[in-house]
Amino acid sequence: MSGAAIFDLDRTLLQGGTGPLLSRAMYDLGVVTRKLPGEKLLYGMFDLIGETLPSIFLARQATLVAKGREMATFDEAAVAAAEAIAEVVHPFALALIEQHQAAGRPVVLATTTPYHLIKPLADRLGFDHVIATRYTINDEGRFDGSITGNFVWSRGKIAAVREWAEREGIDLAESFAYSDSIYDLPLLSAVGSPNAVNPDPRLTLYAVARGWPIVHFDVSPGVFKVPVLGIELQRLLFLASPPLLTPYARFDIAGIENIPRTGPAILVANHRSYFDLQTMIQVLRASGRTARGLGKKEIFDVPGLGAIATALGGIAVDRGTSGQDSFENAAVALEGGELVALMPQGTIPRGEKFYDPVLKGKTGAARLAAITRAPVIPIGIWGSEQVWPRSAAVPNVLNVTNPPKVRVRVGEPVELKYRSPAADTKRIMAAIVDCLPPQAREHRVPTEEEIRLATPGS
């Protein structure tokens, strides 16, 4: 027997519930002409806090709306709703569905929502099976206002799932389940790999106590969101990193408007100092967005620090291999509409090479752009080496009376050809240089003192 991947729908695959979208489609097409009592209020509460007993009572009463109608009456509304709902399904949920299918597991949608209303959506999203509440059809081919089999909610859901698993030869101990609701605890407890997705407060506490993964499909895999608050840990880092806390450096940042307010983009910056990380934090703070940053695998291998880096949205790059895993993770983030930040140089140039006005980079950003068509945004950093020279183990935090200025300029998207990664990389690096001050483009012989400052351990 093999395992399966079982997904709840509302507040799991999408941020809120499907109820408002299904209702709107039925109203627009004239399938129904009256609303259930308290419908709008209960939908709002569901989106905010998840399932409640009143919302489930409303779902059970929906059989009365269908009573006396033929199932085909709802077909057009169900298809229209599927189009609308598919647009708001979290992209990382879709990626996970594909991963499970690639691993040979059947993917199952298990939902309280009536089968005749949700089957078109399940088909559109590529689910292999649907376990949903089914309304009874009488001898005249009309709904009679009752339910056939289980009401697929809480214990009724796990009962329906067990019946399906036995019929299909599925081992639940080898299966995965994903849900947001404490009422799906019977299902989550029945599988070998339970996952609390955007969990309600009670499920959050239970998942923490049991050591279950808490995941969020609106951000890249591994990114941590603070329970109850529902915000990324990275945003808390931004709140804790105002420029006032680094009085030993002054930031001069311009061109933030070139970072898209929404959608994917690849942020590429030059690398001059370990202080560049703090500098990029200030850039992201100003942009109002979070990003997935590519960094050396060695950082992620440090106990504790690696887990924090991943939770903050970091993507480890193994420089000893082809880096295919990091490349694929970055591509998934972009496909999900996120920002990806990287430094194509890979490391800070040493010694005399630090002063070379021609920047050389690796082809990762160009290859990412070619497969995702995400815009590449160049960022020029200058002066960060004055705060934390390559030769120093720590930044100069005592220079608060005359702190050096860290100049940052964000350029317009780089015009790429997508034919040659090497040629596009040269275009990217040239665009970064264009964001630097004029002296960065001057060919000159550095002094011995300058070479010492750019050499580690000197």
- Positions annotated as catalytic residues are 8, 10
The answer to whether the CB of 281 falls within 8 A of the CB of 341 is: no
- Total Cβ atoms within 10 A of residue 222: 17
| Main-chain phi, psi angles of 385, to 5 degrees | -70, -20
Gap between the Cα atoms of 420 and 73, Å rounded: 54
Q: Which residues of 322-352 are buried (b: 16+ CB within 10 A; e: fewer)?
A: ebeebbebbbbbbbbbbbbbbbbbbebbebe
Q: Bridge partners of 5? A: 107, 176
Q: Which residues of 59-93 are buried (b: 16+ CB within 10 A; e: fewer)?
A: beebbebbeeeebebbbbbbbbbbeebeeebbbbb
Gap between the Cα atoms of 33 and 48, Å rounded: 26
Gap between the Cα atoms of 50 and 52, Å rounded: 7
SS3 4: coil
SS3 111: strand
Sequence letter at residue 353 = K
